[in-house]
A and B are shown apart, each in its own frame.
Chain A
Amino acid sequence: LAKTTQPISMDSYEGQEVNITCSHNNIATNDYITWYQQFPSQGPRFIIQGYKTKVTNEVASLFIPADRKSSTLSLPRVSLSDTAVYYCLVEGSARQLTFGSGTQLTVLP
C-alpha cells in the first residue's frame, strides 16, 4: 500500500493561497491521488483527483510532479470556512482506501 505523509497542521490568513503537500514515495503505476476535506461532525468530502501534472476545478488545483512521489493541493484565496482537515489519499483500487491523519488547516482572520 502506498503510504502518505502530510503535515499535521497549517495556519493561514484569509485571502492567502494555501499549499498542502503530501508525500507518497511508494505510489504505484495504477494509483490515483485524491484529496478530501472534512469539517467537524461531517463526513469527508471529495475535493479533487489527479494522476499526473496539473488538475484544476472550481475549488482547488492539484500539482503532481513527473515522478509522482508527492502532490500539492493548492487552495486559492482561502476564507474562514476553509478551516478543516484535508486528507491526501493514494488509491489504485478499492482495497487501498485508508486515510492518514490529515492536515488540520486553520484559516485566521
Chain B
Amino acid sequence: DTAVSQTPKYLVTQMGNDKSIKCEQNLGHDTMYWYKQDSKKFLKIMFSYNNKELIINETVPNRFSPKSPDKAHLNLHINSLELGDSAVYFCASSQTGTHAGELFFGEGSRLTVL
C-alpha cells in the first residue's frame, strides 16, 4: 500500500484553467503538507494542516486553496493557472511531536501550464 498517494501524477493544462490535485495518506499522521519544487530543485513549503486545521500558509497566491476534508486528505485547488505555476507539487505527511519529525512524501504531481 502506498503511504502517501497523489493524483494525478501528470497534469497538462492551459493558462487560465482551474485544476485540483488530491492527496491521501494512510499512515494515521495528523499533519499534512503541500510543497512546490521548481526547476532548480528548491522544495518550498506552501501549506501545512494539522488535524484539518491550517497551521502554515506561506506566501502563496490566493489562487491556491488547500482543502482538508479529514486528517487523511489534503487537496490542492488552483484557480486561473499561470505559466509560473508549472512545477512538481509534493504532498507529505508527518506525525507531529516535539519537532516535525520524519516527513513522508508522495510521488509528486507534475503540473505543466501551456
Q: Which residues of A contact B (CB under 8 A)?
A: 30-32, 34, 36, 41-46, 49, 85, 87, 91-102
- Interface contacts (Cβ under 8 Å), in number, total 63
Asked, given contacts A93-B100, A94-B94, A96-B100, whether A42 binds B44 with beta carbons under 8 Å apart, the answer is no
Verify A43–B4 contact, CB threshold 8 A.
yes
- The interface residues of chain A lying within 8 Å CB-to-CB of B4 are 43
- The interface residues of chain A lying within 8 Å CB-to-CB of B44 are 98-99
Verify B43–A94 contact, CB threshold 8 A.
no
Task: Check B45 for interface membership: any CB of A closer than 8 A.
Answer: yes
Verify B96–A44 contact, CB threshold 8 A.
no
Verify A44–B56 contact, CB threshold 8 A.
no
Verify B92–A43 contact, CB threshold 8 A.
yes
Task: Check B103 for interface membership: any CB of A closer than 8 A.
Answer: yes
B96 (CB) vs chain A CBs: closest residue: A94
Verify A102–B41 contact, CB threshold 8 A.
yes
9 A-B residue pairings within 8 Å (CB atoms): A34-B102, A42-B108, A43-B4, A43-B92, A43-B106, A45-B105, A46-B104, A91-B99, A94-B55
**Told that A46-B104, A91-B100, A94-B94 touch, could you supply 18 new A-B pairs with CB distance under 8 A?**
A30-B99, A36-B103, A41-B107, A42-B107, A43-B4, A43-B90, A43-B106, A43-B107, A44-B43, A44-B90, A46-B103, A94-B50, A94-B55, A94-B96, A95-B48, A98-B43, A98-B44, A99-B35
- The interface residues of chain A lying within 8 Å CB-to-CB of B68 are none
Asked, given contacts A32-B99, A42-B108, A43-B106, whether A97 binds B48 with beta carbons under 8 Å apart, the answer is yes
Asked, given contacts A43-B107, A43-B108, A100-B42, whether A94 binds B56 with beta carbons under 8 Å apart, the answer is yes
Q: How far is the CA of A6 from the CA of B84 in the complex (A)?
A: 26
Q: How far is the CA of A42 from the CA of B40 in the complex (A)?
A: 15
